[in-house]
Structure 1
Amino acid sequence: MSRKHRDPRDARAAIDRYEYVLATGQHDQVYRVHQEAFAELSDEQRVDLRARLSAEIAAEADRPIDDRVETLARVATDLEAARPGTLPRALGPLLPVVAGSIMASPVAIALFPYDYAAGTEQWATGAEEDGEFF
């Protein structure tokens, strides 16, 4: 299946998993997955990301000073740590792209319990239902 015709449920699942990483990952882990994801963005997407992050940050000194991957990852991670839940909204149309990239990150995958990163139904059905492991 080509990326162009990907099921929207796949994007929603990636976003849900990204939000899980943001909520449960340690600061250094979240920074590393952002570095990996932002490295895959095009130059234009990184310019857009910088503008989006800058719009969310009141203090000029805390805004990204350039479009380098490390700078954007630091600012994004710090923004989410300071105001949980802000980053997914701030990413706007970049959210599915970033979330999809992060789901391929070994650091992010290590944060998921059981087969959550693999997208198995075991996570979705819950422990109260009979599954192959119960």
Structure 2
Amino acid sequence: MTSPKSTLHDIPGGEALIGWFGCVPRFHDAELLEITFSGKGAGLLRIQAWNVTDEVDAKGYLVPDKHATATLTLDGVTAIHCIDFDMMPAIIFDLEITQVEENYRIQWSASYGVAGFIIAKHVRINLAPGKPD
């Protein structure tokens, strides 16, 4: 399956993320495990994500596969807007990374917990296949 052109293709580590999941992930139902910011314009989002298959387990639930932790490292953070920040970990409904002029905008809505957006000059993605410890 070919992924449509996405900002992820231009971000270091984005191609590996797309390759692992086989598409541009929207992170639906992924867990936002950590949000960290420093006073020097640096930040981090750590997300546990997976693909959902068409397979159903004995209890009738869809079976997930391709578990991975995606860590988005942010530099040059210029704006942060979060609501329900005290509700962690959060369940992401939808996450999108777009380019706005010379910056990146990471915006997500939540099914539960913190939602918002961050604007940063640089984004890197580190992918760790498997479930977190």
TM-score normalised by structure 1 residue count: 0.30
Q: Which structure shows the higher strand fraction?
A: 2
Which has more helix, going by share of residues?
1
Rg bigger for which structure? 1
> TM-score, normalized by length of structure 2?
0.31
Q: Which has the higher contact order (CA 8 A, sep 6+)?
A: 1
